[in-house]
């Protein structure tokens, strides 16, 4: 079959890498792709948000199945447009993708369906928002309501920081229209984890767990990012914890979405806080995490493509995914200055060092070819060096050996990915 993957980041490189090995694939495309993805698929110069052109490409190139990577085209309704044109796709409808597209919807949905989450308030007026902070105290969490590329969350340790975040979002429009409404919620203590479930509208099956590192600096310091590294499995997600998460969070969500006329198909990514063996939902995402997708794909033993098709076809009930017991760990290399302003176009050397190494895979997130056909940076997060090992320490050592073989003075990484599990 002809398959199109939509997106051009590290998540999409991992998806293309996994899908390319499926015997079901006749031809694999990726739009827009990146320099690394071009080794797995034919890259097509169409932006992930250009819904009309993507549908046109799918129709004119006899695409049988579309895998939608990023959240923005899902929230905009790409899956709906494809299905309207008779093209199967992996990913939720726009009506279901609101689970990520609106944090206030997600929070109120949780309250309607008794899904454990932090207490919250929603605001469009700075004065009322500041009053809520003063009433509830700090630390407290301020979130842009809409999509903000994983950066619209501020954990305020002081009232001054909280007030500044409120002003930045509501008055200075730091996140554009995504921050025209904000959600302020209780700060939850505990250990954070990422939980993924494949859904077909009626059935959900758990995937492997992961833990990511959102803060830019070692020791989980500095501002939030899209993610600086991850590892899988997450030790805190035991077999019994998986059962608890499925029963108290995932299944009530699937039932609630169906009851509200928004049946959920695709991957459901639950960001969780776990304290005293009790999970609470921090937020939902309607796509694979990035960089969690990279470690999941490294550990996946099963053919990914039939599972994605089963999600679309509503036949996950008897499906089984198999995983390698090994630990996978990924370290993100980002452009100097990220998550603030950064330069693009710096040349990256040493990528060829990974070609014959079965334990380390280099996933590209923000790369392109320059006019001399050299690989150079084109984004904030640029590379994800992903390693397999018998345990976290072995995978960590291999990943950093890979990092140290790359020549890119304009990039940096955290040096402590996986520290929680050591």
CA–CA dist 411, 379 (Å, integer):
11
Examine the pLDDT at 383 and tell me if it is beyond 80: yes
Smallest CA-to-CA distance from 110 within 284, 264, 275, 285 is with 284
Q: What is the DSSP string of 274-328?
A: EETTEEEEEEEESS--TTHHHHHHHHB-S-HHHHHHHHHHT--TT----B-SSEE
**pLDDT digits over 127-143, tens only?**
999 999 999 999 999 99
The fourth-level CATH superfamily of domain 119-186 is ATP-grasp fold, A domain (3.30.1490.20)
Pairing of strands 42-43, 27-32: parallel
* CA atoms of 306 and 344, how far apart (whole Å): 37
pLDDT-derived band at 112, boundaries 50, 70, 90: very high
Contact between 159 and 167 under an 8 Å Cβ cutoff? The reply is no
Give whole-number Cα distances, 126 to 165, 183, 338, in Å: 10, 12, 28
List all residues 6 or more positions away from 25 whose beta carbon is below 8 Å from its beta carbon. 1, 3, 19, 305
Q: Give Dmax over CA atoms of the chain in angstroms.
A: 59
**pLDDT tens figures, 239-271:** 999 999 999 999 999 999 999 999 999 999 999
Q: For 2-93, CATH number?
A: 3.40.50.20
Q: Where are the beta strands (DSSP E) in 139-228?
A: 140-144, 153-156, 182-186, 191-200, 204-206, 211-212, 215-217, 221-224
Q: Report, as an integer, the average pLDDT of 180-205.
A: 94
CATH code: domain 327-421 is: 3.90.600.10
Cα-Cα end-to-end distance for the chain:
43
DSSP state of 46: -
DSSP string, 338-372: TTS------B-B-GGGGTT-SSEEEEESSEEE-TT
Answer yes or no: same fold for 2-93 and 119-186. no
Using a pLDDT cut of 70, give the percent of the chain over it: 100
Q: Is the pLDDT of residue 203 over 80?
A: yes
**CA dist list (Å): 186 to 120, 294, 417:** 6, 31, 27
Q: Output the pLDDT for position 259.
A: 98
Contact 10, 367 (CB under 8 A): no
* 55 confidence band (pLDDT: 50, 70, 90): very high
Cβ count near 364 (within 10 Å):
27
Q: Residue 192 phi/psi, 5° resolution?
A: -90, 145
Q: At what angle do helices 103-112 and 94-101 cross, to 10 degrees?
A: 100
Q: What letters, b where the CB count within 10 A reaches 16 and e where it falls short, cover 147-157?
A: bbebbbbbbbe
**What rounded mean pLDDT belongs to the chain?**
95
pLDDT of residue 149: 75
Residue 85 burial class via C-beta count within 10 angstroms: exposed 0-12, middle 13-18, buried 19 and up: exposed
* CA gap 403, 385 in Å, rounded: 7
Domain boundaries, the chain: 2-93, 119-186, 191-313, 327-421
Q: Decide if pLDDT at 308 tops 90.
A: yes
pLDDT of residue 52: 98
How far is Cα 219 from Cα 221, in angstroms, rounded to an integer? 6
DSSP 100-159: HH-HHHHHHHHHHTT--B--EEEESSHHHHHHHHHHH-SSEEEEESS--TT--EEEESSH
CATH number for 191-313 (one of 3.30.470.20, 2.60.40.10, 3.40.190.150, 3.40.50.720): it is 3.30.470.20
SS3 210: strand
CB of 303 closer than 8 Å to CB of 24: yes
């Amino acid at each position: 079959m002809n398959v199109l993957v939509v997106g051009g980041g590290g998540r999409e490189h991992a998806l293309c890498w996994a899908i390319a090995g499926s015997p079901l694939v006749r031809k694999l495309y990726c739009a827009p792709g990146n320099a690394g993805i071009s080794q797995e698929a034919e890259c097509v110069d169409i932006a992930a948000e250009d819904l009309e052109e993507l549908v046109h490409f799918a129709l004119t190139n006899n695409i049988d199945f579309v895998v939608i990577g990023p959240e923005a085209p899902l929230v905009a309704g790409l899956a709906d447009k494809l299905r309207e044109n008779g093209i199967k796709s992996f990913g939720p409808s726009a009506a279901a993708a609101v689970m990520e597209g609106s944090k206030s919807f997600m929070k109120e949905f949780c309250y309607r369906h008794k899904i454990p989450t932090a207490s919250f308030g929603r605001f469009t007026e700075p004065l009322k928002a500041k009053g809520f902070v003063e009433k509830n105290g700090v630390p407290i969490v301020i979130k842009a309501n809409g999509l903000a590329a994983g950066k619209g969350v501020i954990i305020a340790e002081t009232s001054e920081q909280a007030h500044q975040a409120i002003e930045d979002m509501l008055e200075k429009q730091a996140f554009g229209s995504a921050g025209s409404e904000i959600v302020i919620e209780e700060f939850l203590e505990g250990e954070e984890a990422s939980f993924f479930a494949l859904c077909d509208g009626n059935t959900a099956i758990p995937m492997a767990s992961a833990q990511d590192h959102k803060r830019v600096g070692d020791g989980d310091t500095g501002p939030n990012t899209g993610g600086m590294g991850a590892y899988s499995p997450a030790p805190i997600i035991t077999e019994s914890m998986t059962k608890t998460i499925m029963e108290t969070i995932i299944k009530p969500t699937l039932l609630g979405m169906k009851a509200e006329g928004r049946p959920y198909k695709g991957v459901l990514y639950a960001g969780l806080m776990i304290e005293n063996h009790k999970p609470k939902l921090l937020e939902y995402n309607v796509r694979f995490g990035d960089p969690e997708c990279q470690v999941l794909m490294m550990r996946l033993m099963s053919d990914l493509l039939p599972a994605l098709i089963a999600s679309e076809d509503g036949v996950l009930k008897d499906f089984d995914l198999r995983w390698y017991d090994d630990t996978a760990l990924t370290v993100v290399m980002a452009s100097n200055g990220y998550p603030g302003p950064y330069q693009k176009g710096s040349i990256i050397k040493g990528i060829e060092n990974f070609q014959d190494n079965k334990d380390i895979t280099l996933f590209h997130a923000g790369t392109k070819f320059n006019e001399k056909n050299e690989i150079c940076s084109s984004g904030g997060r640029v590379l994800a060096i992903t390693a397999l090992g018998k345990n976290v320490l072995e995978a960590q050592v291999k990943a950093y050996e890979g990092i140290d073989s790359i020549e890119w003075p304009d990039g940096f990484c955290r040096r402590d990915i996986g520290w929680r599990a050591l």
